[in-house]
């Protein structure tokens, strides 16, 4: 590990700024009734750190890069969720599909005469485009911190394995207070189980996103990945699933199946990163 005193000071400055902005973001959650301020708090902390440490904003990875990378990072979370929920439905951890959810969508779209399949496809099209685009500003506010700033800063002192695992775990840790306070999670499984499974899932996701951040030198693949993961899990697969008494242990971001599938994909990208970025900490 390279002893980089300036980088450590910068990282400490960033973490202090994140904690300070987190407190403000948490306060605003109750004022505005949504999580956007908390997500944006990471971006504000990043901008403060860049100002204090005299870092150029261009270092956050604004270049767009190849459209192929954006498409890839849009599709990977969908594929992970699709495989995970196929396993869930096939093994009876939950059932396909939730008729009540589809009926609610018929009412909300004012299309009561449409059949269920058509409504599901319409809902998929809307969340995959409109909802995804609308979510991007708040996600960008978070990602310029975790992937835009933290990943390349960690890369000055750690190997790719360290960068990927540390950045992913820090991202998971960011959500812990919300889980402890019951603002995020479920009311069925024990708190320790939710913390464990969620941390595994988010850390694995962070590994994949760290790989593409270093591969492309751009924050945009991470933004696309984060947005896609949120949209497809929270607005499609989880609400479309008909739950039973054991479902909470297996579905959603606090269930085991998504964590296992995401970890398998993360292991693949961790090996790729170890092979491709052997000299990463010297860059």
Domain boundaries, the chain: 64-282
Whether the predicted pLDDT of 281 surpasses 70? no
Contact 166, 158 (CB under 8 A): yes
Which of 38-42, 181-185, 258-262 has the highest average model confidence (pLDDT)? 258-262
Q: Dump pLDDT digits (tens) for 193-218.
A: 999 999 999 999 999 999 999 999 99
Burial class (CB in 10 A: 0-12, 13-18, 19+), 34: exposed
> Which residue has 């402890």 as its token pair?
180
Average per-residue pLDDT for the chain: 93
Q: How far apart are CA 14 and CA 9, in angstroms?
A: 9
Q: Dump pLDDT digits (tens) for 123-179.
A: 999 999 999 999 999 999 999 999 999 999 999 999 999 999 999 999 999 999 989
Q: Mean pLDDT over residues 107-130, rounded?
A: 96
According to the model, what pLDDT value does residue 181 have?
Answer: 85
Q: DSSP of 87-136, one letter per residue? A: HHHHTTSSEE--HHHHHHHHHHTT-TTS-HHHHHHHHHHHIIIIIHHHHH
pLDDT tier at 116, thresholds 50, 70, 90? very high
Whether the predicted pLDDT of 280 surpasses 90? no
Percent of the chain exceeding pLDDT 90 equals 84
- The tokens for 75 are 């599709």
In 201-280, where do the E strands start and end? 241-242
Q: Dump pLDDT digits (tens) for 79-96.
A: 999 999 999 999 999 999
Pick from 251, 262, 224, 270: nearest CA to 92: 251
The Cα-based distances of 127 to 36, 50, 110, 117, 186 in angstroms read 18, 34, 16, 16, 23
Q: Dump pLDDT digits (tens) for 25-55.
A: 888 777 766 677 888 899 999 999 999 999 9
């Amino acid at each position: 590990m390279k002893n980089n005193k300036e980088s450590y000071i910068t990282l400490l400055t960033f973490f202090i700024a994140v904690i300070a902005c987190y407190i403000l973001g948490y306060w605003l959650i109750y004022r505005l009734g949504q999580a956007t301020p908390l997500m944006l708090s990471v971006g504000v902390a990043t901008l403060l750190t860049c100002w204090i440490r005299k870092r150029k904003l261009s270092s956050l990875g604004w270049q767009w890069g190849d459209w192929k990378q954006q498409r890839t990072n849009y599709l990977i979370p969908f594929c992970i969720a699709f495989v995970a929920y196929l396993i869930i439905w096939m093994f009876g951890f939950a059932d396909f599909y939730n008729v009540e959810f589809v009926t609610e969508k018929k009412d909300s779209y004012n299309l009561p005469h449409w059949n269920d399949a058509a409504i599901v496809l319409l809902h998929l099209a809307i969340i995959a485009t409109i909802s995804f685009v609308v979510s991007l500003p708040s996600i960008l506010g978070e990602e310029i911190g975790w992937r835009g700033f933290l990943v390349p800063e960690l890369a000055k002192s750690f190997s790719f394995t360290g960068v990927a695992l540390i950045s992913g775990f820090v991202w998971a840790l960011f959500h812990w207070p919300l889980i402890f306070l019951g603002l995020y999670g479920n009311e069925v499984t024990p708190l320790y189980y939710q913390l464990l499974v969620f941390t595994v899932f988010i850390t694995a996701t962070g590994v994949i996103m760290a790989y593409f951040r270093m591969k492309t030198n751009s924050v945009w693949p991470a933004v696309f990945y984060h947005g896609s993961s949120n949209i497809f899990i929270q607005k499609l697969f989880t609400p479309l699933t008909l739950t039973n008494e054991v479902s909470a242990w297996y579905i959603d971001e606090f269930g085991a199946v998504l964590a296992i599938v995401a970890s398998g994909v993360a292991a693949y990208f961790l090996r790729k990163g170890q092979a491709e970025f052997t000299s990463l900490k010297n860059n």
